[in-house]
Amino acid sequence: MGRTYYLAPLAGYTDLPYRRACRSQGAHFMFTALIDAGALVHGNPENEHILERGEEEDWLGVQLLGSIPNDVAKSAEMLNEMNYDAVDFNMGCPMAKVLKRPAGAALLYPANHALAFQCVSIIRERVKGKPFTVKMRILNENDPEPTIAFCKRLVELGVEGITIHGRLASKIYSGPVATEVIHVVRESVSVPVTANGGIFSIEDANALAEATGCDRLMVARGSLGNPWIFRELISGVPYRPGHLELCEVLQRHIVGMIEMYGERTGLLLARKITVAYLRGRGYSKKFRVKAGFLSTREEFDTFMQELRVEGPVGGV
């Protein structure tokens, strides 16, 4: 049976231009960046860009973050009426400002389990006609039982799929992925389990699939500045873009951001994206530094002209 690869919902990254870059390399199953329940209910202006879907996007899920039951209920009703192919509930975000609410991975803390299950029940009652899934982290690195029990309860409440990031919230993205915990959970529940964590190459994907037994894998940070990871994963062969190909995809990505957000905001948001494309590919440090100060379309065009001419140190 073939594998299915998903692009993770990455806050501040996986907008429409980002997804288009990944789709250009063969990616199909993707999620929006997470949308905050309160922001959706109260009409935050940023919602438009987070939720925008391209006409060419054949499959797109949306991820909801929240823990205030009333906001979760209203936002779930709103998302159910929108054009998405799945609704996913976030119980994996490890950022401090999210944990304090408590939302994201804080819902995995034993003291918050009742709230977590209440939110899941609320969403399940309101999402109709499309899959409802959950993205979470493990509850214990050494003992799979707490994670198994939690996931079984999710299934009882009607969750149709679970993505598990194999690290504790306290570890954020550091340390090994607890593949054995994911493996045991997969063997213990009746819904599909997607393994998440540490995929930066086809070798990483092979190792995660073998260790967890999962044929559904989610790519997160491995796609930052590297939409070609999907070409690599789908083909099963390592792939490194040439210089001119990188320039073409990078420029199309950033121009898309300028068109979506406007020149000033688009380039402000694009700085980290541009740096990610260049990192680890042999480009002079001066380009990474310049990328951090791009403010106008003219500056970006000049930057790309210089990048194309100079290329990476030593060529490709």
Active-site annotation, residues: 93
Reference 75, options 118, 31, 122; nearest CA is 122
Tokens of 57: 């996007």
- Lookup result for tokens 């993707």: 30
Length of the chain equals 316
Indicate the helix (H) or strand (E) that contains 76.
helix 69-80
Residue 283, sorted as left (phi over 0), alpha (psi -120 to 50) or beta, turns out to be beta
Q: Could you count the other beta carbons within 10 Å of the beta carbon of residue 313?
A: 10
Tokens of 12: 């501040």
- Quote the CA–CA distance of 258 and 242 in Å, as a whole number: 24
**Single-letter code of the amino acid located at 52:** E
